[in-house]
Structure 1
Amino acid sequence: MSQWGTSQNSEVTPSCVGDMADNPRDAMLKQAPASRNEKAPMEFGYVGIDSILEQMRRKAMKQGFEFNIMVVGQSGLGKSTLINTLFKSKISRKSVQPTSEERIPKTIEIKSITHDIEEKGVRMKLTVIDTPGFGDHINNENCWQPIMKFINDQYEKYLQEEVNINRKKRIPDTRVHCCLYFIPATGHSLRPLDIEFMKRLSKVVNIVPVIAKADTLTLEERVYFKQRITADLLSNGIDVYP
């Protein structure tokens, strides 16, 4: 009787051992108490990925924008007058009749004037670049080279700042974003000088053709002149903005 009782007890024991062997992890969890120093899992909050465009817009509006305009054309077409009118500032002498003791000097070097403009919370640093008296000489061969060199130098300067290892947090942007090209109001068509210059400039900058002193033309002449200019631009493969 005692042997059978012993055998019955021995039959129960392997069953318990088998359960522990099958689930050793559960057994350890039951035996080992939870550590008091154990930290609760960290929960991450909402990071706003879907509003990143709005965040970038607010940052850009806070820092402000930079916009650089270049004006190109012959002397006497109103380039300096446009600059003075835009900023109500005297960067160049107005085209008034000079006296015998006083002569109005032509622009002999590239000049720029910068104004800070703020409207509805948006800040913009606007720079207008005045060019030399383009096409004023008898021989105007390669007269666009100083202007082309200036534009390319600004691109190179900005590129060098970008590839610099210790570059600035905010790189000053001196690149020419837009070029206003003044066309004499002849009423006929573009001159070879205009075509050659805009063809070269259109590869490096956005060109906006402007008919200078258009009020000297009648409405019919103005419409016809615009059509001739558009045809000349298309036939010579000149891309203008827009």
Structure 2
Amino acid sequence: MRQNNVADSGAIKKKMNGYVGFSNYPNQVHRRSIKRGFNFTLMVVGESGLGKSTLINTLFESKVYPGRDDSAAVGAVEHPNGVEISSVTADIQENGIKLKLSVVDTPGFGDSINNEESWKPIVENVESRFDAYLAQENRVNRSKIVDNRVNALLYFIKPTGHRLRAIDIEFMKNLHTRVNLIPVIAKSDTLTPREVEQFKANVLADINYHGIQIFKPVSDEYDDPETIADNKDIAGKIPFAVIGSESFVERADGTKVRGRQYPWGIIEVENEQHNDFVRLRQMLLRTHMEELRDTTDVALYESYRTQKLLAMGHVQDAAVFREFNPRVQQEEEARAHYAKMQKLEAEMSAVFQQKVQEKEAKLKQSEEELHSRHKEMKAAMEAQRTALEEQKRRAQAAMPVPGTAEPMYQTQPRKDKKKLFGGF
């Protein structure tokens, strides 16, 4: 076993020298698919008379979807604006692979005089399927989850030969974030080849102008050149100009093909020179069915689920999606610890400075108080000294002069002096 370091991603690539067995995993998935089968839900939307049920039956080469006369048998639900939502499920098996196909039709769409907001019942139906799946995911027991989410939506465009109508643009703008939108030009045999090409260019121009997202096959680094070429060819056919037919016609050489008979000749359903039915079937069923299912689950449903949970007040911690690297985590923890210590040091320094300032202010106040007391005491002592000196001066003035019997100054008679000393 050899080891190669990958510096850019931090991952380690290892090449095995012997057979281990995990390369057999695709075969395990294949066996599980054979055992369990899988579901696929296809929604078709368009005005009446555009051949929706005929095209579905042509795609699966069986009468999986009844005509409009049998719509009551599939549980059609009519909405106030005249749009019905009907669904039929068929179990199909091919080469041992079981497919549970659900076809959702919307009869009445675009048939009213006022088609304003005729897309709302369809959006509500698609979102209700997301809600049902989300409710099952939130259950305690999730062992039996029924997935009826819409995996692809075929939108049938009326072959006017001009541009998209307002109802077409409004519908696709409100549905393109909820489903894998696949535009289809219905009954393309009513247009000439030149008209078809011009109509396709106009439709794509309108789609790009209004920012509408449609499903297109993409290639990656693991695809072989043939697959890349096929994907490019399929993407170049969008929107698919198709015809459908449940009957067979006989060609000039005697062979029978699925198609339509006209006075001027035969148009074959599976002839790529006549229409894009083969490329539509290849993308929808043969090469990109799992990609349609995966896009529904990983992109469309997850986007709706995130919006739903955020609206309910749930907040997702983005840290759970980060790649775990112990060395990077250790560095992040060291940086966080250093930042924490810096913050603590700054806080301690601020507290110390505050206490120093408070102490200095207190000392200054004490100094001012002592200075004031010193000044007061000095003034009191000065006053006392002045008073004592005055008393001393008076005392000296009252003392007799040496050599005389009486004081030099006598202000009162002697009798008054006796009276002053108590009469002695």
TM-score, normalised to structure 2, is: 0.41
Amino acid of the structure 1 residue aligned with 2:43 = M
**Alignment partner, residue 148 of structure 2:** 174
1:69 to 42, 47, 63: 42
SS at match of 1:161: helix
For 1:191, the equivalent position in structure 2 comes to 165
1:207 to 156, 172, 181: 181
Is 1:114 equivalent to 2:89 in the alignment?
Answer: yes
Give, in whole Å, the separation in 2 of the partners of 1:83 and 1:110: 16
SS in 1 for 2:147: coil
Distance 2:65 2:179 in 1: 27
Give the letter for the 1:163 counterpart.
Answer: N
Corresponding position of 1:139? 114
1:158 to 133, 138, 141: 133
Residues 212-223 of structure 1: pairs in structure 2 closer than 5 A: 212-223=186-197
Q: Deviations over 1:115-166 (max 9, x none)?
A: 2122222211111111131111121111101110000000110111111002
Asked whether the 8 Å contact 2:83–2:121 carries over to 1, the reply is no
Range with greater deviation from structure 2 (206-215 or 119-128): 119-128
Counterpart contact for 1:83–1:91, Cα < 8 Å: no
1:125 paired residue number: 100
SS in 1 for 2:42: strand
Q: Deviations over 1:66-121 (max 9, x none)?
A: 00100001111112333454432562247xxxxxxxxxxxx852111222122222
Q: 1:54 to 1:138 in 2, by over 3 A?
A: same
Higher helix share: 2
Map 1:94-113 to 2 at 5 A: 109-113=84-88
Give 1 or 2 for the bigger CA radius of gyration.
2
Q: Please, which runs of 5 or more residues in structure 1 have no aligned partner?
A: 1-46, 95-106
Distance 1:92 1:139 in 2: 25
Count of paired positions: 184
Identical-pair percentage? 51
Q: Is the aligned partner of 1:224 residue 2:198?
A: yes
Residue 50 of structure 1 deviates from its aligned partner by: 5.3
The runs of 4+ residues in structure 1 deviating greater than 6 Å are: none
Post-superposition Cα deviations, 1:162-209, rounded to whole Å, max 9, x if no partner, equal 110022x23221110000000000000001110111111111000111
Contact kept? 1:111, 1:131, Cα under 8 Å = yes
RMSD: 2.2
AA paired with 1:180? L
Match of 1:240 in 2: 214
SS state at 1:110 partner: strand
SS at match of 2:84: coil
Separation of aligned partners in 2, 1:150 and 1:203: 14
Distance 1:62 1:74 in 2: 39
Distance of 1:145 and 1:184 partners within structure 2: 20
Where relative contact order (Cα < 8 A, 6+ residues apart) is larger, the structure is 1
Amino acid paired to 1:144: W
TM-score, normalised on structure 1?
A: 0.70
- 2:40–2:101: 8 Å Cα contact kept in structure 1? yes
**AA partner of residue 156 (structure 2):** F
Encode CA deviations 1:27-59: one digit per residue, 9 max, x unaligned: xxxxxxxxxxxxxxxxxxxx9555444323321
CA distance, structure 2, for counterparts of residue 54 and residue 138 of structure 1: 54
Matched residue type, 1:126: L
Q: Which ranges in structure 2 are unaligned for 5 or more consecutive residues?
A: 1-19, 70-81, 217-424
Tell me the distance in 2 between the aligned counterparts of 1:221 and 1:240.
22
In 2, Cα distance between the equivalents of 1:113 and 1:213?
23
